[in-house]
């Protein structure tokens, strides 16, 4: 029996392992069925949202089966924290990657061969090395876990060519069960994962993609950094969060802006020195209240449970990417915010990037498919969560915890307005052989005399000044939504507008155009209260909770690990509410396993006694 399980029966039930090691009384959702399948030697393909407990689906079987579980993960920079979290609960874990010295790598190899490891983490690049295969042949493999499995799919947003070689696992070690896990996958992605990893005969487990504790909000872009600052100050003061930007320069400028406003913010993108990136990531994981401003180079595999918000200052390229990124908020199940500022320039930029892509026509169609779905989510008149879950093939009812539920959006018949825009575009294109960007089209519709409209004689067009019933901001909203619906196209370095195949159906019928009313001004609403909202701790419980947080921070610093490796906030809250009278009582709290009870029990009981 593995050391961490000593004291349990010879063939313990999975739930007994879960309780003893991690301190949880029961599995959630599909976890029990997945664990039973893999522990019994079967293969599994697991789709489970971030925060749903994917890691336990292979960690528990790793302890139930003889040998060492080999975990294939693309996240070299995070392996140390993953191993630290396992060691904190008494599990023998290690990793092999380029951050180790030769002597350290030899020691890990010796431990594996000697049966001294429960889990071993490897990058896919390392797994492809002949020496790694020889090492694995020299020991006993309990199972293979392929984390972030969407990286194998061309349809996914984090494609990694090195993942393609993982189909060889079954060929070389046919008796070893495999489990592939991902937090995001449509049917197309799931089918490709199964095919590329030779998991077509595996059991598929698809959990609900719903994250009810996340409040989804998309606001019209209007000085986005100021809008972000308002969100942080009014709703997330002192909270940890992630801000995603499209470009490296925007990342650095936004981080600098936030720091100038007194908010502890760090930048992260692929262009930074690797040592700087590593230091920033370590601070974010190990300190409270840090805001990470990043490109999508940051975030996959981030296990920090208390990220209270994820903000996007630029439009993500796909719903899968958006879901994966927003899912990094609220892994602990407590209320969190997914906020995005979205505007006309985002649509223009993304359409231009696709049209200028180096890929073939099929690749551009795939990118357009992803973008169209993302734009539909932004422009929806109905519940955002319903739209988001429908993308993954899941039906849902209006959630009451997104902006379109909390402040219903009105639609309006925008057919005439769309016809005015298209008439202007057609007349410029056919009569003058000219194309212009959004600003110039709006100037013509409003009848504005500018140097450009005068120089080109556009005040003589029949559409000159026919749009005075709407403001400039409203016309930009019309054009944004027409671009989103594919009713007009954008091209060239200057984002000039042109017709599409469906434009004539709007101009001459039968196609009608429904648009959403954009609010006159962007207002940051108060944080929605949901059933997940915790009751504020007061009195002795509140004081104890704060003392526990201070103790946890000091302990984490002393051990050189993130605070959540010691205990999650939810566990500290439960301790504060229970105020246990004995170590036995403390052991009943969810998240307090045998190893942590033994290691931290005396310190916690001393704090409890000091508050009584």
Residue 527 has pLDDT above 70, yes or no: no
Contact 180, 44 (CB under 8 A): yes
Q: What pTM was estimated for this model as a whole?
A: 0.81
Note the helical H segments in 467-534: 472-484, 503-507
The set of long-range contacts for 248-253, using a CB threshold of 8 Å and a minimum separation of 24, is 248/295, 250/313, 250/314, 251/293, 251/294, 251/295, 252/293
Contact 231, 338 (CB under 8 A): no
Contact 248, 269 (CB under 8 A): yes
Number of Cβ atoms within 10 Å of the Cβ of 531: 9
Note the pLDDT tens digit of each residue in 564-598.
899 998 899 999 999 999 999 999 999 999 999 99
pLDDT band at 212 (very low <50, low <70, confident <90, very high): very high
Residue 303 has pLDDT above 60, yes or no: yes
Contact 245, 251 (CB under 8 A): yes
Number of Cβ atoms within 10 Å of the Cβ of 403: 19
What mean pLDDT is predicted for residues 508-522?
A: 80
The pLDDT of residue 523? 45
pLDDT band at 522 (very low <50, low <70, confident <90, very high): very low
Q: How is the beta sheet containing 214-220 ordered, strand by strand?
A: 214-220, 336-342, 307-312, 240-244, 291-294, 265-268
Note the helical H segments in 318-360: 319-326, 344-355
Note the pLDDT tens digit of each residue in 213-243.
999 999 999 899 999 999 999 999 999 999 9
The pLDDT of residue 587? 93
The pLDDT of residue 304? 87
Note the pLDDT tens digit of each residue in 331-379.
888 899 999 999 888 988 888 888 877 778 888 888 888 888 899 999 9
Residue 529 has pLDDT above 80, yes or no: no
Average pLDDT, the chain: 89
Note the pLDDT tens digit of each residue in 116-172.
999 999 988 888 788 999 999 999 999 999 988 888 776 555 556 777 778 788 889
The set of long-range contacts for 552-561, using a CB threshold of 8 Å and a minimum separation of 24, is 553/288, 555/600, 555/603, 556/286, 557/286, 561/81, 561/84, 561/85, 561/88, 561/286
| Residue 333 φ/ψ region, left for φ over 0, alpha for ψ in the -120 to 50 degree band, beta for the rest | left
What mean pLDDT is predicted for residues 173-196?
A: 87
The pLDDT of residue 534? 56
pLDDT band at 528 (very low <50, low <70, confident <90, very high): very low
Strand partners, 141: 68
159 or 499: which leads in pLDDT: 499
pLDDT band at 467 (very low <50, low <70, confident <90, very high): very high
End-to-end CA separation in angstroms for the chain:
41
Domains, the chain, in order of start with CATH, read: 3-206 (3.40.50.300), 214-406 (3.40.50.300), 411-516 (1.10.10.10), 539-610 (1.10.150.80)
Residue 45 has pLDDT above 80, yes or no: yes
The pLDDT of residue 300? 66
Residue 372, CA distances (Å) to 104, 224, 319, 396, 484 in order: 49, 23, 9, 21, 7
Entry field: residues in the chain? 612
């Amino acid at each position: 029996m593995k050391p961490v399980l000593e004291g349990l029966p010879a063939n313990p039930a999975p739930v007994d392992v879960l309780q003893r090691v991690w301190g949880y009384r029961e599995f959630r959702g599909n976890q029990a069925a997945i664990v039973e399948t893999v522990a019994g030697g079967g293969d599994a393909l697991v789709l489970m949202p971030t925060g749903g407990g994917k890691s336990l689906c292979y960690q528990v079987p790793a302890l139930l089966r003889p040998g060492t579980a080999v975990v294939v993960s693309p996240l070299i920079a995070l392996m140390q924290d993953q191993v630290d979290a396992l060691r904190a609960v008494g599990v023998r874990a290690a990793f092999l990657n380029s951050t180790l010295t030769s002597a350290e790598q030899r020691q890990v190899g010796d431990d594996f061969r000697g049966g001294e490891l429960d889990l071993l983490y490897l990058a896919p690049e390392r797994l492809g090395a002949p020496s790694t295969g020889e090492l694995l042949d020299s020991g006993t493999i309990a199972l293979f876990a392929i984390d972030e499995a969407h990286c194998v799919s061309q349809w996914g947003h984090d494609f990694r060519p090195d993942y393609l070689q993982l189909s060889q696992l079954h060929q070389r070690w046919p008796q070893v069960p495999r489990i592939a896990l991902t937090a995001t996958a449509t049917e197309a992605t799931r089918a490709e994962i199964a095919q590329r990893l030779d998991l077509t005969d595996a059991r598929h487990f698809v959990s609900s993609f719903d994250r009810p504790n996340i409040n989804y909000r998309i606001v019209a872009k209007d000085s986005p950094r100021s809008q972000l600052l308002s969100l942080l100050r009014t709703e997330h003061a002192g909270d940890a969060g992630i801000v995603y930007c499209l470009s490296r320069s925007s990342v650095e400028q936004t981080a600098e802006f936030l720091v100038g406003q007194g908010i502890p913010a760090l930048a992260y993108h692929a262009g930074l020195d690797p040592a700087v990136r590593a230091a920033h990531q370590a601070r974010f994981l190990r300190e409270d209240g840090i805001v990470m401003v990043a490109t999508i180079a940051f975030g996959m595999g981030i296990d920090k449970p208390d990220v209270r918000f994820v903000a996007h200052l630029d439009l993500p390229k796909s719903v899968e990417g958006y879901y994966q990124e927003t899912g990094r908020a609220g892994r602990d199940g407590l209320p969190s915010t997914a906020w995005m500022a979205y505007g006309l320039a985002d649509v223009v930029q993304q359409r231009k990037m696709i049209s200028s892509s180096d890929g073939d026509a099929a690749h551009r169609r795939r990118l357009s498919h992803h973008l169209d779905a993302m734009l539909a989510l932004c422009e929806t008149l109905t519940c955002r969560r319903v739209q988001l879950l429908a993308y993954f093939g899941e039906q849902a009812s209006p959630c009451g915890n997104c902006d379109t539920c909390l402040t219903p959006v009105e639609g309006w018949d925008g057919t005439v307005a769309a016809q005015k825009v298209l008439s202007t575009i057609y007349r410029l294109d056919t009569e003058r052989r000219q194309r212009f960007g959004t600003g110039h089209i709006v100037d013509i519709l409003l009848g504005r005399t500018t140097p450009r409209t005068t120089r080109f004689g556009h005040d003589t067009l029949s559409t000159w000044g026919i749009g005075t019933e709407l403001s400039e901001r409203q016309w930009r909203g019309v054009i944004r939504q027409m671009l989103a619906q594919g009713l007009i196209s954008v091209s060239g370095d200057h984002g000039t507008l042109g017709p599409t195949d469906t434009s004539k159906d709007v101009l001459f019928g039968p196609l009608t155009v429904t648009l959403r009313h954009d609010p006159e001004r962007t207002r940051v609403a108060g944080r929605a209260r949901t059933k997940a909202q915790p009751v504020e701790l007061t009195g002795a419980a509140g004081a104890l909770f704060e003392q526990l947080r201070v103790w946890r921070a000091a302990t984490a610093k002393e051990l050189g690990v993130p605070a959540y490796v010691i205990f999650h906030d939810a566990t500290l809250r439960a301790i504060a509410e229970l105020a246990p009278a004995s170590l036995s009582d403390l052991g009943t709290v969810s998240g307090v396993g045998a190893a942590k009870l033994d290691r931290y029990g005396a310190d916690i009981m001393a704090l409890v006694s000091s508050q009584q």
